[in-house]
Chains A and B, each alone.
Chain A
Amino acid sequence: MSEESTALPWPVAVDATAGTPADLMSRVARGDSVAFAQLYDLMAPRVYGLIRRVLRNPAQSEEVTQEVMVEIWRTATRYDADRGSLTSWILTMAHRRAIDRVRSEQSSTDREQAVAAASSTTEYDEVAETVTTNLEVEQVRHCLSSLTELQRESVTLAYYGGYSYREVAELLDAKLATIKARMRDGLIRLRDCLGVTGR
């Protein structure tokens, strides 16, 4: 290290508008907290929105969002762009954290009450309605509507409702194998309609 370069200002100041999410991410991986703040602005609404959709409770949702955003910082060094888009990496993490929270609360409830049969279907109706009235998501709305009813219900009950496929089968009164298959072909149809790829 040269003697002149003492006390380098860190993090390095950068133009706040510069950089794609992928550029931001590689700077985050090198410990750049300014880049992280920009990444936060880009991604936090999606993370929070998804977690809030699954958990419903605002305080819990904030807590889990914070966990996820910090986890993005912590594991940025492990992100591999070859294995999926940044948005997908982040939302996958967010969804898993939300589901983990749902399941851990569920298991403590299960311990208290004897394991009971499935709950009502109001959750689903609410979810479906909210998705289909959001004007900003015309494409998703359109593509969701191209699914069969069973495909759509299977996918949204799991993704937004946080239910396991067994619970979804119970709620929809369908066979386990049927629900597994509808989740898969529903997502395939959604993929084709949205024109997304795995890279």
Chain B
Amino acid sequence: MTSPEVHALTGPYVLNALPEDERVGFEAHLADCRSCSAEVAELREAANKLGTAVATAPPPALKARVLAEIATTRQLHPLVKQEEPIAPQPAAVKKSFSRRSFFGLAAAGLAVAGAGGIAIDQYRDSSRIRKQNEELAALLSESDAQMVRGDVKGGGNATVVMSPSKDRAIVLLHGLQQLPDGKTYQLWLMDKSRTMHSAGLASGQSADQSKLIQGGVADKIYFGLTVENVPGSPTPTLPPAALIAMA
């Protein structure tokens, strides 16, 4: 991204109008850009006036529920300055492919992906990352959990962790090639009659991402990844960038 383009993202960023991958990219830039951080702080104050402008009294019963919940909620440890960053663990992927080591790796990857956000932005905590890790751990703990993996044309690979009994899957995309503007990755699941069903989009701008697929997983035989025009296609454009047998 060239620098004028990046600076123009302060507006969409403050309005939470950036897709996840672009948000992560912009936050990485923010960490190195003092003028951007200052602008973000100011624009944020301005945007939030729009929030104050629509204040509405909540239902009175809500307060009791909130107070009851905080009574059983532990507060976070304060951040001590100059905390050590979470060390990424690259290249540990190769050999032992046991569930346990895989989970450790995936969790590390996700945690690292989130760390930039924490470091430069006090507003976004790690809850999203934590949730992803919890989902992955839960899925892997199912007795029928399976994991398949394949290469993606153009670079990178896709790993599908699934549980037919839970009818859900988590797709971990790693090292994907960046797509030109206006292109997106799209996920597909193929059923026994060889019909492809869209399972949502994955950004063309982010090398590493994870996607949760809930439902429609159990009876599928292949996972597919294609490159499509934004905002996705009702039918897959062939040949796919990846096609991975799920059973």
Q: Scan A47-61; emit 1 where CB is below 8 A from any B CB, else 0.
A: 111101100000000
Distance (whole angstroms) from the CB of A97 to the closest CB of chain B? 10
* CA A84 to CA B16, docked complex, whole Å: 17
Which residues of chain B (17-32) have a CB below 8 Å from chain A? Answer: 17-19
> Is there an interface contact between B41 and A198, defined as CB atoms closer than 8 Å?
yes
Q: Scan A40-52; emit 1 where CB is below 8 A from any B CB, else 0.
A: 1100111111101
Known contacts A65-B62, A75-B76; A108 and B214 CB within 8 A of each other: yes
* CA A66 to CA B68, docked complex, whole Å: 11
* Residues from chain A with Cβ under 8 Å of B69 in the complex: 66, 70
* Residues from chain A with Cβ under 8 Å of B19 in the complex: 164, 166
> Is there an interface contact between B232 and A115, defined as CB atoms closer than 8 Å?
yes
> Is there an interface contact between B53 and A131, defined as CB atoms closer than 8 Å?
yes
> Is there an interface contact between B58 and A48, defined as CB atoms closer than 8 Å?
yes
Known contacts A29-B78, A95-B51; A184 and B45 CB within 8 A of each other: no
> Is there an interface contact between A198 and B230, defined as CB atoms closer than 8 Å?
no
Check B148 for interface membership: any CB of A closer than 8 A: no
* Residues from chain B with Cβ under 8 Å of A78 in the complex: 76, 78-79, 122, 125
Q: Which of A65, A158, A179, A181 contacts B16 (CB 8 A)?
A: A158
Distance (whole angstroms) from the CB of B247 to the closest CB of chain A? 21
> Is there an interface contact between A186 and B123, defined as CB atoms closer than 8 Å?
no
Which residues of B are at the interface with A, using a C-beta cutoff of 8 A? Answer: 5, 8-12, 14-19, 38-59, 62-63, 65-67, 69-71, 73-79, 122-125, 127-128, 186, 198-201, 213-216, 230-235
29 pairs of residues in contact across A and B, judged by CB atoms under 8 Å? A29-B75, A48-B57, A49-B54, A50-B51, A65-B58, A66-B62, A74-B70, A74-B76, A75-B125, A78-B76, A78-B125, A88-B44, A91-B48, A92-B44, A96-B124, A110-B200, A111-B216, A117-B231, A131-B50, A137-B53, A165-B15, A183-B11, A183-B17, A184-B12, A187-B11, A190-B50, A191-B45, A196-B49, A198-B39
The 5 tightest CB contacts between A and B, nearest first, are: A198-B41, A184-B11, A183-B11, A115-B232, A114-B234
Known: A78-B122, A111-B199, A137-B54. 12 other contacts (CB 8 A): A29-B78, A45-B58, A62-B59, A91-B48, A111-B216, A114-B198, A114-B233, A158-B15, A159-B50, A168-B17, A186-B11, A198-B42
Which residues of A are at the interface with B, using a C-beta cutoff of 8 A? Answer: 29, 31, 33, 36-37, 40-41, 44-50, 52-53, 62, 65-66, 69-71, 73-80, 83-85, 87-89, 91-96, 99-100, 107-108, 110-111, 114-115, 117, 130-131, 134, 136-137, 139-141, 143-144, 154-156, 158-160, 162-166, 168, 177, 179-188, 190-191, 194, 196-199
